[in-house]
Amino acid sequence: MEDEMPKTLYVGNLSRDVTEALILQLFSQIGPCKNCKMIMDTAGNDPYCFVEFYEHRHAAAALAAMNGRKIMGKEVKVNWATTPSSQKKDTSNHFHVFVGDLSPEITTEDIKAAFAPFGRISDARVVKDMATGKSKGYGFVSFFNKWDAENAIQQMGGQWLGGRQIRTNWATRKPPAPKSTYETNTKQLSYDEVVTQSSPSNCTVYCGGVTSGLTEQLMRQTFSPFGQIMEIRVFPDKGYSFVRFNSHESAAHAIVSVNGTTIEGHVVKCYWGKETPDMVSPVQQVRQLLQLILNHPVNWLGSGNGREGGMVDGWTEDGWIMNGSWMDEVLLWQGDTRHGQSSPMRRAAPAADN
């Protein structure tokens, strides 16, 4: 069993003046080190390294002693290292559990310790945002045995971990290959192109593909790192939501960062939501209404029970507009549209020529 226990530590947030020799000198005081590998990030980020011990107990002691300590003026981050891909065990046939609603302070070690009583764990990790290094609020635990994974899902769902009740379910993992056209395209997204894809007044992000576990809390947790959120609307039965930020720039950052990532075990799509009537001032609404009437010589009726003809290039859902569908009516809101207290007017079909 000792051979299966981790012996390698990740040491991050290092000063650029730190050397492998210095790291070995410091960590060897806790236990004999096998090697140290320093990684210098060419993108300008802080360097990091991996320290391998001969024994797991020494690695565990070093993790407890060195995490948060200052080395050359910088507080280093120490964690269990993920096994390099060239040596990583194949866990594709293992049984993977999704763990959601994690508190921000919960670490990989925390979820591993919480799920360890249910059986042998082959892998565990808390998913972090690559840009900020902060937890995304969910993680995965992999078991060798299916029964252990099933038991963990049943027993741990709703349990408290770090001040929150966690959610558990079977994880849906993407196949490693071949990569779809969509996945290839998502990697090409850049802030500069996304920010110009919609008008500067549009602050709404569409997020789709979360076919299970979609809640307002989950969306807030996912998108709050990118800016102040003004409003969130979720449609769990359809697997999508809309998130409105206080600025166009925040929304653009959210699209770039979240598109193509995994939420609740599902790969999501993010793009601009169409600007809704409640984003437009009353004066603009009146102007748009007048222009629509002038451009389309049709009869305008008060709200009624019948459905009239006519088509628009979008459809509405509780005041949120999505592109791509043709509907047989258009609703124009007056007043506050957010709470369903508006007075709709319907456009009648043009009268047939005699």
- At 301 the pLDDT is 40
User: Is residue 353 in a domain?
Assistant: no
315 and 343: one domain? yes
Q: Which amino acid is at 229?
A: I
Res 19 pLDDT > 50: yes
User: Is residue 88 in a domain?
Assistant: no
| Cα–Cα distance, 204 to 274 (Å, whole number) | 7
- At 262 the pLDDT is 82
Kindly report, residue by residue over 112-137, the tens digit of the pLDDT: 989 998 988 888 888 887 667 788 88
Range 186-213 average pLDDT: 81
For residue 164 the two structure tokens come to 């929150």
User: Is residue 143 in a domain?
Assistant: yes
327 and 253: one domain? no
Q: Give the range of the structural domain holding residue 303, as residue numbers without chain letter.
A: 280-347
**Is the pTM higher than 0.75?**
no
Q: What integer best gives the mean pLDDT of the chain?
A: 74
Least confident of 94-103, 148-157, 181-190: 181-190
Res 338 pLDDT > 50: no
First to last CA, the chain: 89
| Cα–Cα distance, 47 to 42 (Å, whole number) | 9
User: Is residue 176 in a domain?
Assistant: no
Kindly report, residue by residue over 174-198, the tens digit of the pLDDT: 433 344 434 434 445 677 788 888 8
Q: How confident is the model at residue 309 (pLDDT cuts 50, 70, 90)?
A: very low
The residue from 248, 273, 298 where one domain ends is 273
Of 21, 79, 30, the C-alpha closest to 58 is 30
The residue from 273, 293, 318 where one domain ends is 273
269 and 291: one domain? no
The structural domain count of the chain equals 4
245 and 287: one domain? no
269 and 288: one domain? no
CB atoms within 10 A of CB 242: 24
- Give me the CATH number covering residue 110: 3.30.70.330
User: Is residue 36 in a domain?
Assistant: yes
User: Is residue 315 in a domain?
Assistant: yes
- At 263 the pLDDT is 84
Q: How confident is the model at residue 244 (pLDDT cuts 50, 70, 90)?
A: very high
Kindly report, residue by residue over 251-287, the tens digit of the pLDDT: 888 888 888 888 877 888 999 987 655 544 444 445 5
225 and 251: one domain? yes
The residue from 170, 199, 214 where one domain ends is 170
Using DSSP, how many helices (H) and how many strands (E) does the chain show? 9, 22
| Cα–Cα distance, 64 to 230 (Å, whole number) | 41
194 and 241: one domain? yes
User: Is residue 86 in a domain?
Assistant: no
Range 97-106 average pLDDT: 90
Measure Cα distances from 42 to 46, 48, 73, 133, 282 in Å.
Answer: 9, 12, 22, 18, 51
User: Is residue 327 in a domain?
Assistant: yes
322 and 297: one domain? yes
